[in-house]
Amino acid sequence: HSAFEFVSIESDFFHNDSSEKEVGGLARKMIEKHREEQEKKKRIEEEKQREELEKKKKKIEEEKREKDAALAQTQTENEAPVKEEKEEEKKEEKKEEKKEEKKDEEKPKYEDPNKGNGFDLDKYYWVQNLQELTVNVPVPYGTKPSSIVCDIRKNHLKVGIKGQPLIIDGELWRTIKPDDSFWSLEDKKAISILLTKQDQLEWWRCLVKGDPLIDTQKVHPENSKLSDLDPETRSTVEKMMFDQRQKQMGLPTSDEIQKQDLLKQFMSQHPEMVQQFSGMKMN
């Protein structure tokens, strides 16, 4: 517009009608050309932006595909060792279960003792105290002593009736004193056998090996004749009885009590060491 004003002021270019028409037409052409150029430039810019956006979109999609593929590959690679690890864990668990089952099978199963601290079997029963065992074998009424078979050895016992399979024939749980052992026929209907133990401070778990084992923690020591023992043996037996009862109740044995008393005495004499010995367990 400034150029037009200058021309208008300084010349007579616009003072005639033809000149004004020419200038108007020229201006319109220039404006139209400018507008077309701007629109073209805008279209080019928009097209360029669309291409850029399309490129970015394709790049993002490609990166996503690559990322997904990599993730899938990683998961596959990770799942394989995890699966193998789980299978190994299952195998180990099965091995442990089998070990525990084997231990349970190997672990002796103990039976509750009868009232006489022994056990009742189908063909005989036995009872015991710390010094001796008494075995009772029922036989047909009227059986004569001469028809009885009873062979008592240091570590073996045979009992039966002549001409018939032996009722007892096996290795004794522990050794006995054969010279202090004997048998008798009671009321013509039962063989009674007294076996004197070699070790008179031990409870037997069975009469002959292979028979059911009893739980000696459940025997009743008071059934034994403590009054028949010498003072030293009696003291030892009473200590064993006390310790057994303490263990059954989850309480300390006589030796553990003695150690605890010694520790208390020591701590009372050395109070500065109380903290050091606090919570200490004596073995």
Give the helix ranges, DSSP H, for 211-253: 231-248
Residues 12 and 68 in one domain: yes
Single-letter amino acid code for the residue at 75: Q
CATH of the domain at 148: 2.60.40.790
Residues 49 and 123 in one domain: no
**What is the mean pLDDT of the segment spanning 53-69?**
87
In a domain, 252, yes or no: no
φ, ψ at 269 (rounded to 5°): -85, -20
In a domain, 233, yes or no: no
Residues in a beta bridge with 127: 134
Q: Is the dihedral of CA 55, 56, 57, 63 positive or negative?
A: positive
Give the pairing type, strands 148-152 and 110-111: unpaired
In a domain, 276, yes or no: no
In a domain, 268, yes or no: no
Joined tokens for residue 228: 């028949």
In a domain, 41, yes or no: yes
Whether pLDDT at 187 is above 60: yes
Q: Domain ends where: 183, 216, 249? A: 216
Taking a C-beta distance cutoff of 8 angstroms, is the pair 128, 117 a contact? yes
Question: pLDDT tens across 139-174, in order?
Answer: 999 999 999 999 999 999 999 999 999 999 999 999
- At residue 38's C-alpha, the angle toward residues 31 and 28, to 5°, is 10
Q: Please, which pLDDT band fits residue 6 given cuts at 50, 70 and 90? A: very low
In a domain, 154, yes or no: yes
pLDDT of the residue at 195: 96
Taking a C-beta distance cutoff of 8 angstroms, is the pair 205, 172 a contact? no
Q: Domain ends where: 181, 197, 216? A: 216
Joined tokens for residue 212: 């059911």
Taking a C-beta distance cutoff of 8 angstroms, is the pair 213, 109 a contact? yes
Distance, CA of 260 to CA of 251 (rounded, Å): 13
Whether pLDDT at 103 is above 70: no
More confident residue, 238 or 224: 238
The predicted model scores a pTM of: 0.48
Total domains, the chain: 2
Lowest mean pLDDT among 45-59, 84-98, 204-218: 84-98
Question: pLDDT tens across 110-141, in order?
Answer: 999 999 999 999 999 999 998 999 999 999 99
pLDDT of the residue at 179: 93
Residues 211 and 164 in one domain: yes
Distance, CA of 15 to CA of 77 (rounded, Å): 90
Residues 23 and 73 in one domain: yes
In a domain, 148, yes or no: yes
Query: Residue 211's domain spans which residues?
Result: 119-216
In a domain, 50, yes or no: yes
Q: Domain ends where: 154, 181, 216? A: 216
